[in-house]
Structure 1
């Protein structure tokens, strides 16, 4: 009897335990969201874009250089009668200006910056238009001498003046020619004597085409094989296009021009400016009136010869220290071919310009 009671109690306990367990396990578990399989990418930083530094170019030629020479421009007055030819150092000039002086002969203002020859000459005296030619360079000016008013004008224009007559270093008489056709210059001596205000490279004086074929003569000009100039009855230079060398070769009265070392005188660009030339009150030792080419505050017509082609242009010059601006027929600035430039100042009255097809 007791055994039966204990059995019933044990069964009741088991049933109660089962009910409790059933109550605890009957509630469904809360589901957990599964991973989606996507991840957020780590932020990335774009690689820096590097721009190559522009290729430096020589300021007075537009030609590419590894570095611009850290020196000022040097303008040298060089004579050009037959007795002075062939001249030394003429082919190393970046720019050469040709002007008419007394007696109708021509003289040069040769400008150096990217290259320096060992010797330059024969060096002669300055003239009244030289400050307007060289002042925009803000550099050095070398001459054998000249009238006091013209030398003072060179200094007043902001140029540093060096003169043989003043006894400045770098000048010497040499060679077989008689005086005054035998003054030559060592340009290194002048650069050594340059003051602190005249050691900076010049600003460009002309515009240059950025790529081949974009010169103004190519876009707006016509083909030409040569240009004949008459500066005066005794000064008649000419230029002929050399398609192989791609330069204009100079002749003096029909004779090919060479420098003292035998190298032909050539130019990448020939710029012809029609200018007014007037007689001043001054005279030379022979009694001839000293002419002046009027440039500052003036304008006129002209011609540019580049890459075997020519184009008519107009030119304008503001103040004495401003460079000459060249304008194409469509009103855009003239773009030359990078290289050496000769500027021919042809009088409007007595001079002439003939393009050879």
Structure 2
């Protein structure tokens, strides 16, 4: 009996130790708030001690997508000129927000980083499990992001990936070090957008300037023959990055899409617009000082977007950065 009691006590002690370790690991995995509330100025939490994807050697074929704040208080932004693609969408209150996609080059820093939206998940399905860097999202949206085929990276998940700058007030001062999330730029093959690059198509019309208006924001693209680029202005002011350089894509796409209400609202009760990027419609492609009226089609979320002329031929973009501005059809 003494030996059995001793064995039973030993087994109970081992079980108790295992339960304690399991509970500790579970607490470390949940970690409370991994995201940053847009209305808080606190530094990003550092509860995670997991190695960064970069330290694990992650480069692969997946691009990095970063949600970029575009409120007036967030300007000038950092690292936008290194992006291969910049998407502009309407958000609450008629304002705009950007998504920068990096594949051929990673800047030292980019931002200010801001929260994700539901329609981002549909847009990002065109890529092979992209990394999405964002400051957080409302609690009802986070489960959808966690289930999406992407690698969501919020502050607190990777030590040293995010930091608060001193140049702007919170929440417009959260920045990302991309090399903490990717070991290297994955390369152009990661841009599975369906875009074609090459010689300009025929049938264009001379275009000096094009403005896209949202209820409380506007973008203007002005052709510069000297730079062979479209100079960006936002809300009537030249758009520059923190290094003083003008934002100047080689190609601008004004894509007319359905913009509807989503099931989500901001903390003021404003409905979050949902930008539908699957379907078909009209678009204008601006390149080389010319404007081309084209059709766009994206059959499913897993597909890229085809831009074609009236006779169905693919429309080539100019080599260099592309801005896609979604506007209500």
Q: TM-score, normalised by structure 2?
A: 0.77
1:175 to 161, 166, 181: 166
Equivalences, count: 270
By how many angstroms is 1:120 displaced? Answer: 0.6
| Equivalent position of 2:220 in the other structure | 238
Deviations 1:48-85 (A, max 9, x none): xxxxxxxxxxxxxxxxxxxxx96531000001011000
By how many angstroms is 1:281 displaced? Answer: 2.5
| Equivalent position of 1:147 in the other structure | 138
Gaps (5+ residues) in structure 1?
1-68, 349-357
| Equivalent position of 1:274 in the other structure | 256
Distance 1:106 1:168 in 2: 30
Alignment check: 8 A CA contact 1:208 1:215 kept: no
Alpha-carbon spacing, 1:339–1:199, altered in 2? closer, same or farther (3 Å): closer
| Equivalent position of 1:253 in the other structure | 235
Deviations 1:231-266 (A, max 9, x none): x22111100011111110000122111001101001
Alignment check: 8 A CA contact 1:70 1:200 kept: no
Distance 2:315 2:184 in 1: 36
Alignment check: 8 A CA contact 1:78 1:109 kept: yes
Alpha-carbon spacing, 1:181–1:208, altered in 2? closer, same or farther (3 Å): same
For 1:113-192, list aligned pairs within 5 A: 113-138=103-128, 139-164=130-155, 169-192=160-183
Distance 1:187 1:71 in 2: 15
2:300 paired with 1:322 = no
| Equivalent position of 1:215 in the other structure | 200
Alpha-carbon spacing, 1:167–1:287, altered in 2? closer, same or farther (3 Å): farther
Alignment check: 8 A CA contact 2:195 2:306 kept: no
Distance 1:279 1:215 in 2: 37
By how many angstroms is 1:322 displaced? Answer: 1.2
| Equivalent position of 2:323 in the other structure | 342
Alignment check: 8 A CA contact 1:72 1:200 kept: no
**3-state SS, counterpart of residue 181 of structure 2:** helix
Distance 1:129 1:135 in 2: 10
By how many angstroms is 1:323 displaced? Answer: 1.0
Alignment check: 8 A CA contact 1:241 1:247 kept: yes
Gaps (5+ residues) in structure 2?
1-58
2:292 paired with 1:301 = no
By how many angstroms is 1:169 displaced? Answer: 4.5
| Equivalent position of 2:52 in the other structure | none
| Equivalent position of 2:210 in the other structure | 227
**3-state SS, counterpart of residue 96 of structure 1:** strand
Q: TM-score, normalised by structure 1?
A: 0.71
| Equivalent position of 1:202 in the other structure | 190
Alpha-carbon RMSD: 2.3
